[in-house]
Structure formats: C-alpha cells, structure tokens
Structure 1
Amino acid sequence: MARTEQKVRDLVDGDGEMRDAVGTVLAHVDDDEDGEVTWVDVKGELTSGQWGRLIERGILVEGDAGFRLADTEAVRNGLNGEASTTSSTSKSKSKSKSTSDDDDSSSWSKYDKGAAVVTVALFAGYSWAPLRNVIGSVMDVALGPLATLMPFYAVVMILALATGLYSTLLQANLMDMDKMSEYQSKMKDIQERRKQAKEDGNDAELDRIQEEQMEAMGDQMGMFKEQFRPMVWIMFFTIPVFLWMYWGIGIGPNAESHVPLQNLVLPLVGEVAWTDQILGPIQAWIVWYFLCSMGFTQIIRKGLNIDMSPTAS
C-alpha cells in the first residue's frame, strides 16, 4: 500500500492535469461494481499518454475485463495527501527504492547465478569425454539398476516423464506469470494507442508513445530474465541425464555402450538402432526422448491445470 501511495504522490506532485486524471480514474473505479475501468470509459477525459503513465507506474494493473487500481485506498490517500502510518515512516525511503524494488522482484538470486555457472560448465561434457565419463558414472549409480531391470526404451520414457514433470513445476514456480501478463497488457495498450494516434494524425502523441516504447525495453529485458531463469534450472538437472544417456549408449569416437541395448521401433520409421540417424544428423535416441518428453509434458500440464501462456486482456 505504501509504495502505491508514494507512486501516486510522485506522479501528481506539481502536475494538476495528472492529478485530475488520477481522480477521474478513481471516480470511474468507484462507480463500477467490479471496480474496473477501461480506456474506452475515460478516453474522453484522459489523454492516452496519461493512461499509459498510470499503467507504466503500476497504479493501474490488469483486471478481469479491463484495468483496476493496484490499491484503491492507497491511490485515494496519495491523491488527497493523507499519508497512512506506514507510508509516513517509509516515505523518505520508498522513492529512492521504488526502482530497485521492481528490479529485485525479477532479479536472479545467488543460487540462480550459481546454477547458471554450473550449467555452462556441464555443457563441456557433450564434447569432452573425461567429463562425460565422470558424470555418466556418477549418474549410473542411480540409473544403472533401472537399465538392468527394463528395456532401455522404457528407461528413456521414465526419464522423459521425470524431466517433463520437474520442468513444468520449475516453470510454474519460477516464472511470474502475473508480471508477464501485465507487461503484455501494457504493450497491447501502447500498440492500440499508437494505432489510434496514427489514425488521428496526432504526431505529438506518437512521439510520447514512442518514448513509452523505448522505456518499455527495460521491461522486455526483465521478461526475458523471467523466462530464462527456469530454463537454467531445467538444464541444470537435465544435462546430467542427457550425459548419462550419451555415456550409456556410447556416443562419440571410440565410445562403448554401458547399458543393455535392443533395437528401437519408432513410429513411421520402423526398427532402428539407437545411434541411427533419423532426421538429418539427429539420432534415434534423441527422437525417441523428445517424442516421449513432449507427450508427457502435455499430459502433466493438463493434469495439473498449469497454463504456461500469459494472456493479456
């Protein structure tokens, strides 16, 4: 609440037109039974630039059918100059930290950075046999007994199921879908206002929207970080599994297989050896793994009702 109140204070300080704009939005929100407002509701009373600044500052956030105030009471207090107890004690700090707080919410922790460093190092195992042999031998302690109990194609299916499960859970827990949806909503709003400004021939408004788009590039980088963060952890856990399959099948010059192998039967292809090339240079074992992984991942997402596609209203 304190941060929203301070954002409103900073926005309307010395700007009577912006104060009127916030008041107009607040009035529309109070009148609406769902507490939401759309651009169509206020386009005759606000400029598109004012509307965009409210979204950019996080005062307006995505709702079910339009936009709602992040904190109605905080906006009212910020507009009327009635500081709450919390905001009065943190007023001197909130302005200086508002930007850093937004950055921290999407920044990587030391564990994320450590996982990224280890992941990059693990990539060397694909081309450097000694590292691959070490990782394969270590992973074989857990996976070796599994390969002796069942056919290798079934082992790959189990690995694909496991990697699909933790990949889905990591994406669901490490990606801030609300923040990504909010960003998409803001970009959609900018595009609509840009289109309207072009139709109206409003060059001044186009310039302001262009500035908003340039400022939004920082948000785009934040969204990229949000998307890449779970990928680091997915690769952190998946690369050792792949290196064990490399080691077990015997991929590479002078490599020997370390697990019992029978020929594999692939749809539309028929019986093939695990190292046969199926799609260009792509070998049969990789095709089988990805077929299993894609299928299991879709089943897991449906079963757990996890949607990894952020939507903008």
Structure 2
Amino acid sequence: MARIEQKVRDLVSDDTEMESVVRTVLDRAEDGEVKWVDVRDDLSSGQWGRLIEKGVLIDGEAGFRLADPEATRDALENGTATTATTSSSDDDTGDSSWSMWDKGAAVVSIGLFAGYSWAPMRNVIGTIMDVVLGPLNTALPFYAVVMVLAVVTGLYSTLLQANLMDTEMMGEYQEKMQEIQKKRKEAKERGDDEALDRIQDEQMEAMGDQMGMFKEQFRPMVWIMFLTIPVFLWMYWKVGIGDPSSGQFGTMVLPFRGTVAWKDQVLGPVQVWIVWYFICSMGFTQIIRKGLNIDISPTGT
C-alpha cells in the first residue's frame, strides 16, 4: 500500500521520535498484530494514538494489526531519501500541484473578467471570437448556437474536471475529517481529555489539507474560465449589448413567460440569453457525464 508507506514517512518527518516508535511496534507485532500492553513501556499513549489515527494500525482480532507491515518497513528503510525527495517535490509543485501554466491561466482568466464592464476589451474579444463563431451563427438560429456552445463548454469542462481534479485526495480528506469527528465524539463520551487534546492538534493539521483540497477543486475551474469567458463574452457582445450593430436574433418562448427577447430580464437582472445558456449547459453536462461515465465526486480508497 503506497498510502501506508507515505503515511509512515509523514509521521517520521513530522516527529523523528516516531521512527523508533514504528520500529518498536514492528518488532513487537506477532503475525502482524500488537497490543497496547506489549508496547506501553516504550511509547506514550499519544504516539500509540498517532499510529491509529494515521491508519498505520487498524483493528485486529485480539488488538491492533499493522495495515501493511511490508510497506511500513519499506518506509523506514527508505525514509530519509524519500522524505527529502518528497519535501523537494512539495517545494517545486508548491500550490497543490499547480504548474506555471495553471497560474498563468488564472491570471489571464481574472483579466478577462474586465471584458464584462470594459467595452474596448469586450469588443476586441467579441470581434476575434466572431471569426470562429460567426459562420456557426450564420448557419443556425441563435438559440441553436447557444445550445451548441453549451455542449462544447460542457464537454471540455467535464474532461478538465476529470483529468485535473484529484478526487482520490479529496475523498481521503473527507474520510479523514469524518474519522476525526468520530474519534472526537467517542473521546468526549468517555471523558478522555488527553485524546481530545490530541484530536484538536490533528484537526489543526487538517486545515492545511483543506486548503490543498480547495486548490485541487479550483485548478480545473481556472482552465474552464480561461476557455469559457471568451465564449460568454462573444454571446454578450453578439446579442447587441457589446455591439448594437450586431443586430437582434428574434425572440424565443420560455415556460411561464411566453415570448421573450434575448435581452429581456427573467430572473431579476438576469437576461434571457444567460438563462437559456445555463439551462442548456446544465442539461447537456449531465448527459455528457453519464455518456462518458465520468464521476467527479470525491472517492475514497
């Protein structure tokens, strides 16, 4: 189990005393199982609890057993070199595996938002995008053009989320937080103040994991915005908001509203073309996910 090996390395890198603790547990384990009474003279209850919290020790038949003795032993034998490599890798990747390109796309996406309020940028983007999308708009009615764009944006949004989002890591974080809450509840019920203090420290450590999970979730959104904002600005420009000379594209019929123009407001200040795009986008995105059998929800292992 690569996960167990990494967890042991993390324990040792956080606290050098944990190396001797793990070695003691390995030496005292019989057929992979060990009891607290076998090791309590050589390690503290806090250290024993850390092994359980990290999943290095799990429930056994007579006590606790090592989740993966071989992986645990390998982590100790190769711990120094691997820990240094991992630390170096963390320094290189920095923002939860964000590359220079990810950061660049984030900066450009933020800049593109100015197009919604700054007419010169909107007109430039609209004119450039019209070279590509103009022929499509000529061949199809505008409501069909919006449907096509919703399919395309839904497709690449799904693929980006599936390939750039680490659902396994997110699932592990959720499992970890659920386990912490469970242990906290049990410790409160039995009045174990020492365990509560230890769990509180673990919750504080988990805050760093939460930030990493947020960055993993936001990474595909950066690329989705990078690709979608120009498309959205083109629609904004094309209906006549950005360039009145572009003309109007007639009307359409909406449930409960009847015949409406594209710039009519239907949900507060939200206009018809925006509502139609999001209806198409949500519907087609679900169909695409089902058709490609893609699930972006967090998954545990």
Q: TM over 0.5, yes or no?
A: yes
Does 1:27 pair with 2:32? yes
Compute the displacement of 1:282 (Å).
0.5
125 and 47 in structure 1: CA distance in 2 versus 1, 3 angstrom threshold: same
Compute the displacement of 1:73 (Å).
2.5
Query: Could you report, residue by residue, the CA deviation over 1:73-120 in whole angstroms, capped at 9, with x for unpaired residues?
Result: 2313456xxx3xxx3xxx543333434535638231000011011101
Q: Distance in 1 between matches of 2:164 and 2:176?
A: 22
Q: Distance in 2 between matches of 1:21 and 1:273?
A: 73
Count of residues paired in the alignment: 275
311 and 206 in structure 1: CA distance in 2 versus 1, 3 angstrom threshold: same
2:126–2:237 CA contact under 8 A, matched in 1: yes
306 and 19 in structure 1: CA distance in 2 versus 1, 3 angstrom threshold: farther
Equivalent position of 1:74 in the other structure = 71
Equivalent position of 2:39 in the other structure = none
Does 1:286 pair with 2:286? no
Which stretch shifts more, 257-266 or 1-10?
Answer: 1-10
> Aligned partner of 1:309: which letter?
S
Does 1:258 pair with 2:259? no
1:188–1:312 CA contact under 8 A, matched in 2: no
Equivalent position of 1:305 in the other structure = 293
Query: Could you report, residue by residue, the CA deviation over 1:182-210 in whole angstroms, capped at 9, with x for unpaired residues?
Result: 11111111111001001111111001000
Equivalent position of 2:118 in the other structure = 128
1:3–1:94 CA contact under 8 A, matched in 2: no
1:275 aligned counterpart, secondary structure: coil
Q: Distance in 1 between matches of 2:30 and 2:163?
A: 33
After the TM superposition, list the runs of 4 or more consecutive aligned residues in structure 1 that deviate by more than 6 angstroms: none
Does 1:156 pair with 2:162? no
1:161–1:297 CA contact under 8 A, matched in 2: yes
Does 1:175 pair with 2:180? no
2:171 aligned counterpart, secondary structure: helix
Equivalent position of 1:35 in the other structure = none
Equivalent position of 2:44 in the other structure = none
92 and 190 in structure 1: CA distance in 2 versus 1, 3 angstrom threshold: closer
1:8–1:75 CA contact under 8 A, matched in 2: no
Equivalent position of 1:236 in the other structure = 226
> Aligned partner of 2:70: which letter?
E
1:251 aligned counterpart, secondary structure: coil
Compute the displacement of 1:264 (Å).
1.4
Amino-acid identity (%): 59
259 and 111 in structure 1: CA distance in 2 versus 1, 3 angstrom threshold: farther
Equivalent position of 1:247 in the other structure = 237
Equivalent position of 1:271 in the other structure = 259
> Aligned partner of 1:132: which letter?
R
2:26–2:69 CA contact under 8 A, matched in 1: no
Which ranges in structure 1 are unaligned for 5 or more consecutive residues? 30-45, 62-66
Q: Distance in 1 between matches of 2:241 and 2:152?
A: 22
Does 1:212 pair with 2:209? no
159 and 11 in structure 1: CA distance in 2 versus 1, 3 angstrom threshold: farther
TM-score (norm 2): 0.81
Q: Distance in 2 between matches of 1:282 and 1:260?
A: 18
1:164–1:297 CA contact under 8 A, matched in 2: yes
